[in-house]
Structure 1
Amino acid sequence: MTASSCRLSRPGVVCSLGDDLDTIGHALFSGQRGLTTSDAFTPGRPLPLGQVTSELPDDSQWPKDHRSRNNRLLALALARLGDEIESLLSSVPGDRIGVVIGSSTSGIGETESALAESGREGPLPETFAYARQELGAPARFIAERLGITGPCYTLSTACSSSARALASARRLLKSGQCDAVIAGGADSLCRLTVNGFLSLEAVSDNPCQPFSRHRDGINLGEAAALFVVTPESGGVQLAGVGESVDAHHISAPRPDGSGAAEAMRQALEMAGLEASEIDYLNLHGTGTALNDSMEAAAVTTLFPTPPACSSTKGLTGHTLGAAGALEAAFCWLALTQGRLPEHRFDGDYDPEIPPLPLVTNGAAPQRRPRRALSNSFAFGGNNASLLLTLDPRTE
């Protein structure tokens, strides 16, 4: 462990694979896709979506400002943290606990429903509350629900939002502003995001195929994932973070992968590790032509011999602002269970991009994974990498 490390608690997770870690782990390590086909957001064009089917908490008695699907996802993830939250609230003063959440949707889905009900001319319904669509709403929801009064904010850097939220949690601890931070992310499916990605011609009509020669776009999903982040030793440590902004294009990544490689390099440097010491790499791996070729170039630039790799977006869909925290949770599971997430695609790797050793067909790791790197790359070249390590005393 290094001076920059901090402990990540057992995560609270809800995604299309389930809402308890045993169920999620079984799907993750067996390569079970959690995609369903629906035209709920695109009438007449059914799409594979990573929709959450778990029963979510009833929000009818919540303050109007908090009633949103995004917050219901967060409430279930918070409930799954269980004892971690109870212990936190009993041992740390509320003004010393921070909340940092990553999101790109917040409560915009409820605004869509309100506008559909009111029509072009009618007044917005009484149930409408502008505050729940503000980007700060998810963090405020958790803070008010738990009575926390420490630093509280939401980050929105598209698909790297919740990875950056975890990096921000580490900074709050290292600066002495907090003694603990609840950090992670949530994004819910809505028409705005689904049709926004359709307008970019980035969505596949079939289950996505990251790194395949036949890849033709992403599947979208929804999720929430939360950790309690503390300065304690032991367990799973957030040993390094790397962040870069290459600003190459508003939506397309820099083709040479230099910005992505810089984020990975920073995470390794902060953790005091060499590339050869990484046991598993969770790829951003969206299944678009540009992202996968860029990421393969970045990985092989930094890793002369890349570690075992997989993209889990073929299982959950791309959960956008929640993806960084969700995939950090998958790395947490890989480290604590000694298994690697399966990479789902058609098996026809694109020969035009640098080869990566993808985890397929239930392949067992060559060595027990102790160090995992997770990539999140976003619009505007907003890149983040998280490096998780397992304290050997935890085994």
Structure 2
Amino acid sequence: MNSQKIGICGIGAVTAYGWGREVLWDGLFSGKSAATLEGGYGENCDEMAWVAKVPDGGNPVDGRGRFARAMRASAREAIADAEVRGWRPGRRVGLLHAVVLGEVDLWRELYRERHSVKAREYLALMPSTPMSTFMQEYGFHGPAMNVSAMCASGNAGMLTAKAWLDAGIVDDVVFVATDLSLVPENVLHFVRLGVAITDTEPLDACRPFQEGSRGFCMGEAAVSFVLSRNADRPYARTLGGAMSHDAHHVTSIDMGLDHVRGCFRDALSNAGVPASAVRYLNAHGPGTKQCDHAEATMLEELFSADTGIYSVKPLVGHCQGAASAVETAVAALGYDRGVLPAPPVVAPGHPQLLNGRTPVEDGLTVKSSLGMGGHNSAVVLAPPA
């Protein structure tokens, strides 16, 4: 057990709702999905699809691609936010970047259209480049590293950041999770896997823990946090967590759930808290039968009947490598603002499922994320006090 509490003292966000933390919050609060109908998808790239795609924006100086622009914009916003809330960087500021697929738009352009680029342009495609240039911009000299665990990458990055801080390797961490990968080819393959829904409005298709859910609408995001023990006014605190692996199948969950169950229990043990202290399960909740069954089972086996469950994927989409970071931001902002912008319930569902805007009550949040391929993760979050 490790009792050190790490403050989330700055948040930045770029999502399909637009560029900025407040734009994300306002979009969630509207109860309307960020997804829009866009062309260029399907087998022959001639069909319309519902996708929650980050709109063009950012600073062209940050690079040609939306990926680098979104990554750096969200990180800058988190740092500026933390400074307003009283944070001052220590001597060793580390950078962690959760990423599964980087600069997909530019790689696609290279292979399909240009076939060759200048050396400087090629370097911009490397996942290390936006990290190096960001460290240069701020003069940070702690470690810089990418983290990848499929859809659980955000939780993996949060737990790695906490481990760095607990071990004294760094004084502070800027943690970024970026996934802007909704090119037609990627969307098509998730449709073929039977989990991504593109032909129906997201709130109708993606109904986590409700009858009639068919899967998820795909999304994009770049979300950043400043994590520190030296936080005057944190949004929330990270108490601990755990990860495990099913070692079972490249896409399916081991429905014995032994390793999912063990991950949840280990997370509570690592955080040093009882299950009875958990008020909210901020679920992975992609709206697929396997994942929804697994998390509903954990809710019923481990937590009290007063523990509410919710997933914001019907609103922001499934943001893949940035998914759990978006959802952590929602939990942290919810503690700060006293309300959780849960999606509206549209069909009969689990009796503990939150329905729309919900006032936040005292208690802990478990943020779970089940990444494709067997990655299980859970992070325990607490109110700032």
TM-score w.r.t. the length of structure 2 is 0.88
Residue 81 of structure 1 deviates from its aligned partner by: 2.2
Q: 2:355 aligns with which of 338, 357, 360?
A: 360
Q: Secondary structure at the match of 1:211?
A: coil
Summarize the alignment of residues 1-395 of structure 1 with structure 2, pairs less than 5 Å apart.
Answer: 3-42=3-42, 43-53=45-55, 55-59=57-61, 62=62, 67-84=64-81, 91-93=89-91, 96-118=92-114, 123-126=115-118, 129-191=121-183, 192-204=185-197, 205-206=199-200, 207=202, 208-232=206-230, 235=234, 236-305=236-305, 307-349=307-349, 355-365=350-360, 368-392=361-385
CA contact (8 A) 2:104 2:181 kept: no
Q: Secondary structure at the match of 2:276?
A: helix
Distance 2:5 2:351 in 1: 28
CA contact (8 A) 2:11 2:224 kept: yes
Change (3 A) 1:90 1:284: closer
Distance 2:152 2:258 in 1: 16
Distance 1:145 1:391 in 2: 30
Distance 2:14 2:75 in 1: 10
Deviations 1:7-44 (A, max 9, x none): 11131111123334334223324422111111334422
Corresponding residue pairs, total: 374
Stretches of structure 1 that go unaligned for 5 or more consecutive residues are 350-354
Larger relative strand fraction: 2
Change (3 A) 1:303 1:296: same
Q: CA RMSD in A?
A: 2.5
Deviations 1:149-176 (A, max 9, x none): 3211111111011211111011111111
Q: Secondary structure at the match of 1:101?
A: strand
Distance 2:369 2:258 in 1: 14
CA contact (8 A) 1:70 1:138 kept: no
Residue 345 of structure 1 deviates from its aligned partner by: 4.8
Q: Secondary structure at the match of 2:239?
A: strand
Residue 84 of structure 1 deviates from its aligned partner by: 4.6
Distance 2:373 2:357 in 1: 35
Percent identity at matched positions? 25
CA contact (8 A) 1:210 1:287 kept: yes
Change (3 A) 1:21 1:288: same
Residue 221 of structure 1 deviates from its aligned partner by: 0.7
Residue 114 of structure 1 deviates from its aligned partner by: 1.7
Residue 86 of structure 1 deviates from its aligned partner by: 5.8
Change (3 A) 1:83 1:374: same
- Post-superposition, which runs of at least 4 consecutive aligned residues in structure 1 deviate over 6 A? 87-90
Change (3 A) 1:247 1:134: farther
Change (3 A) 1:371 1:135: same
Stretches of structure 2 that go unaligned for 5 or more consecutive residues are none
Change (3 A) 1:167 1:13: same
Residue 247 of structure 1 deviates from its aligned partner by: 1.7
Distance 1:342 1:90 in 2: 33
CA contact (8 A) 1:279 1:308 kept: yes
Change (3 A) 1:297 1:387: same
Distance 1:139 1:269 in 2: 33
Distance 1:241 1:361 in 2: 27
CA contact (8 A) 1:245 1:383 kept: yes
CA contact (8 A) 1:344 1:360 kept: yes
Residue 383 of structure 1 deviates from its aligned partner by: 1.4
Q: Secondary structure at the match of 2:40?
A: coil
